[in-house]
Amino acid sequence: MAWVLVVVAGLFETVFAVSLKLSDGFRHVGWSVAFVAAAAVSFSLLNAGLRTLPVGSAYAVWVGIGAVGTAVVGMVWFGEPAGAARLLSIVLVVAGVVGLQLTSR
């Protein structure tokens, strides 16, 4: 269950990163509120997961999910480059996250 909390926290990390971009320096109130709310949910879920998981593995999984999610959103919705090297790098991050999750039990 703790890993589920960390995974969902990572998804909310993606939401807060994208909301931060869309807030345009906190000039757009709605996106600024979305950023604060998503960050609060993400940190709360990460905190709950850390009660039973090793901090190094849980934090790395949280960051990895947030980084991959944000990169994918950037490529799909913001037209950021999606070259082979970038996609391979994302696959490597995912492999690292899975490896950390499997070896921390």
Q: pLDDT of 77-95, one tens digit each?
A: 999 999 999 999 999 998 9
Q: What is the pLDDT of residues 15-45, one digit of tens each?
A: 999 999 999 999 999 999 999 999 999 999 9
Q: Which of left, alpha, beta for 81 (phi over 0: left; psi -120 to 50: alpha)?
A: beta
Domain ranges of the chain: 2-103
Give me 4's structure tokens.
Answer: 């589920």
pTM: 0.88
Amino acid identity, position 65: I
Task: Supply the pLDDT for residue 101.
Answer: 75
pLDDT band at 100 (very low <50, low <70, confident <90, very high): confident
The Cβ of residue 50 has, within 10 Å, a number of other Cβ atoms equal to 17
